[in-house]
């Protein structure tokens, strides 16, 4: 089980990040919704649709953690893409409503993590996720995709612990996808080793996250050429 105080803290943080995400999404006009996002190939509406879809899909990881019965977030990659495109095509207010409803549903279902858990880990796209980190995974999704909306909001406005959640999720992805060996170091004294740890890469948390998630390297320093990273 998750310590109830930690779960309350994580869900409170998730609530704040979600409120900021929704405030940004609701500020977008119909034309702005159809503009490109920072997420390759997706419009801003696609990003909001993904957050709506993801909120409900991640509840399946909660089900897995609580029951011990393995769950898949989507029937297939194609099914995921169809769900997101279908949501993105909805009228603006309906899409925003779906995103709000999914966020509330996830937060309600996450309360179950305070009870007995049947398994210590669940799996997602080849990544091992501690059952106690499912809420943190949702926080990471909201923070990174808020950045993807490409508005005046910046990662610096996220809670520092939320940025850390997103970094930990990005590191899991890099490890699962066989990224080149790196030792990642932040000014806040975090450190993660990927593979053989050969290349030392440093930045503050926000700069490192922008590089790992979206390949923006302007605030990153390394003791050798920066590699091309697998997509997140």
All domains in the chain, ordered by first residue: 4-153 (1.20.120.450), 168-232 (3.30.1050.20)
Ramachandran quadrant class, 60 (left: phi over 0; alpha: psi -120 to 50; beta: rest): alpha
Where is pLDDT greater, at 19 or 231?
19
Please say if the pLDDT value at position 2 is more than 90: no
Residue 125 has a pLDDT of: 85
List the beta bridge partners of residue 129. 122
Please say if the pLDDT value at position 232 is more than 80: no
Q: What is the pTM of this model?
A: 0.95
Cβ partners under 8 Å of residue 132, min gap 6: 2, 6, 113, 117
Mean pLDDT of 26-33: 98
| Lowest-pLDDT range of 1-10, 21-30, 79-88, 156-165 | 1-10
In terms of C-beta density within 10 A (0-12 exposed, 13-18 middle, 19 or more buried), how is residue 103 classed?
A: buried
């Amino acid at each position: 089980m998750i310590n109830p105080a930690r779960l309350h803290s994580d869900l409170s943080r998730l609530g704040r990040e979600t409120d900021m995400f929704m405030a940004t999404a609701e500020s977008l006009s119909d034309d702005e919704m159809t503009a490109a996002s920072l997420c390759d190939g997706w419009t801003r509406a696609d990003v909001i649709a993904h957050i709506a879809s993801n909120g409900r899909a991640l509840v399946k990881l909660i089900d897995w953690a609580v029951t011990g019965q393995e769950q898949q977030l989507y029937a297939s990659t194609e099914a995921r893409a169809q769900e997101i495109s279908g949501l993105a095509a909805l009228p603006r207010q309906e899409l925003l409503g779906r995103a709000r409803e999914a966020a509330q549903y996830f937060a309600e279902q996450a309360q179950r993590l305070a009870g007995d858990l049947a398994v210590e880990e669940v799996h997602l796209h080849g990544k091992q996720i501690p059952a106690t980190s499912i809420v943190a995974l949702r926080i990471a999704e909201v923070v990174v995709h808020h950045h993807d909306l490409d508005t005046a909001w910046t990662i610096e406005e996220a809670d520092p612990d939320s940025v850390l959640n997103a970094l930990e999720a990005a590191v899991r992805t890099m490890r699962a996808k066989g990224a080149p060996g790196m030792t990642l170091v932040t000014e806040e004294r975090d450190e993660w080793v990927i593979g053989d740890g050969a290349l030392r890469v440093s930045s503050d948390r926000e700069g490192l996250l922008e590089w790992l998630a979206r390949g923006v390297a302007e605030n990153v320093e390394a003791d050798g050429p920066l590699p091309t990273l697998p997509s997140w």
